[in-house]
């Protein structure tokens, strides 16, 4: 009546029910290839940090050239909410028409789609970079993201043994029980270094601001995916690990050099930016890893992932 089209509004439950994990992994992979090929317009990430209590807000947005929609995503992370009995983050995605600029849909996803697309990126990286005969998955961190990483890794690796470490042992034990429901045989490790020394496929999912384990704990043949360092000041990996790695992969050179694990490695002088590959490049080139290689993938989260999962949900909801 007023010229504006009807706007679809989807709840977090509706959005999550619409996700087909196997299809999403393939779509996220294609999104990374498009991004690295320059087919996606992605402005710099907006970031607002808070000190008391600690927390942050991310604003990510972008457009895949030729698509009929573009996406704006806001997501918050306030880890202290656990003590208050509250979720640690919230968020929503706005889907707008690329021809008219008019709003098409609002995904009130409570950051669940952000969590899922992050886990999907981890699974895509593992599918491309981890050993095919990996048998032990190591998880540092035991929150929502750790469980989602397992859920999506189940689609890309035969490994079902899991070793978990978390600063709060009770949370690690809870994750072990949740992992069992997904078909994994999980146990709690005494420390992060034990996990790093045992895993064939190591995933770090914490809000740490200092390395969790020494670089020399990682064995040849191990793949490491780091997803926690998504804002300035965050760090999970020892920069020396980048010096040991045979292949360093990032989701975005610019983002990771600014505030990812790569930024710490560049500052330490243990890696050169021109030797780093983007995940989209690795996927497009079908890079093969040597059996005893150490590979590291630094994921800070790129707006193309939000575009892909928003399209995915709207097509299936």
> pLDDT tens digits for 40-76?
999 998 999 999 999 999 999 999 999 999 999 999 9
Mean model confidence pLDDT for the chain: 95
**Residue 1: band (very low, low, confident or very high) from pLDDT cuts 50, 70, 90:** low
Global pTM value: 0.94
8-113+305-316 and 130-303 share one fold: no
Residue 2 has pLDDT above 80, yes or no: no
Residue 287 has pLDDT above 90, yes or no: no
Residue 73 appears among annotated catalytic residues: yes
Q: What is the pLDDT of residue 303?
A: 95
Q: Where are the domains of the chain?
A: 8-113+305-316, 130-303
Give the dihedral sign, CA 150/153/155/161: negative
Instruction: Select 8-113+305-316's CATH number: 1.10.10.10, 3.40.1410.10, 3.40.50.300, 3.30.1780.10.
Output: 3.30.1780.10
d(C-alpha 140, C-alpha 62), whole Å? 31
d(C-alpha 161, C-alpha 171), whole Å? 18
Q: What is the pLDDT of residue 248?
A: 98
Q: What is the pLDDT of residue 82?
A: 85
Instruction: Select 130-303's CATH number: 1.50.10.20, 3.90.1640.20, 1.20.1440.230, 3.40.50.720.
Output: 3.40.50.720
What string of DSSP letters covers 100-153? T--EEEEEE-TTHHHHHHHHHHHHHHHHHHS-TT--EEEEE--SHHHHHHHHHH
Q: What is the pLDDT of residue 88?
A: 86
SS3 84: helix
> pLDDT tens digits for 197-218?
999 999 999 989 999 999 999 9
**Residue 97: band (very low, low, confident or very high) from pLDDT cuts 50, 70, 90:** very high
The share of the chain scoring above pLDDT 90, in percent, equals 92
The two beta strands, 247-250 and 8-11, are unpaired
Q: Identify whether the C-beta of residue 140 lies closer than 8 Å to the C-beta of residue 205.
A: yes
Residue 286 has pLDDT above 90, yes or no: no
* 53's tokens: 């209590």
d(C-alpha 237, C-alpha 211), whole Å? 5
Per the residue annotation, which of 58, 60, 63, 73 is the catalytic one?
73
């Amino acid at each position: 009546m007023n010229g504006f089209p009807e706007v679809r509004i989807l709840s977090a439950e509706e959005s999550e029910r619409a996700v087909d994990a196997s299809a999403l992994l393939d779509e996220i992979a294609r999104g990374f290839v498009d991004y690295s090929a320059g087919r996606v317009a992605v402005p710099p990430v907006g970031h607002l940090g808070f000190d008391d209590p600690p927390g942050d807000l991310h604003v990510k947005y972008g457009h895949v050239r030729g698509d009929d929609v573009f996406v704006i995503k806001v997501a918050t992370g306030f880890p202290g909410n656990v003590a208050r009995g509250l979720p640690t983050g919230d968020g929503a995605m706005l889907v707008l028409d690329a021809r008219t600029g008019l709003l098409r849909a609002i995904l009130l996803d409570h950051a669940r789609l952000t969590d899922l697309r992050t886990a999907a990126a981890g699974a895509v990286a593992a599918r491309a970079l981890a050993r095919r005969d990996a048998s032990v998955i190591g998880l540092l961190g035991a929150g929502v993201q750790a469980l989602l990483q397992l859920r999506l890794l189940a689609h890309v690796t035969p490994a079902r043994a899991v070793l978990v470490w978390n600063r709060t042992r009770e949370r690690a034990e809870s994750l072990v029980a949740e992992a069992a429901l997904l078909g994994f045989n999980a146990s709690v490790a005494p420390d992060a270094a034990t996990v790093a020394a045992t895993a064939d496929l190591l995933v770090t999912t914490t809000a740490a601001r200092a390395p969790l384990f020494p670089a020399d704990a990682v064995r040849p043949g191990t793949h490491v995916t780091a997803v926690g360092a998504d804002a300035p000041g965050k760090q999970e990996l020892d920069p020396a690990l980048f010096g040991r790695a045979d292949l360093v992969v990032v989701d975005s050179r610019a983002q990771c050099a600014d505030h990812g694990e790569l930024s710490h490695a560049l500052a330490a002088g243990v890696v050169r930016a021109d030797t780093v590959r983007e995940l989209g490049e690795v996927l497009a080139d079908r890079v093969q890893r040597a059996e005893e290689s150490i590979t590291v993938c630094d994921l800070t989260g790129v707006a193309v992932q939000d575009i892909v999962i928003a399209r995915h949900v709207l097509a299936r909801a």
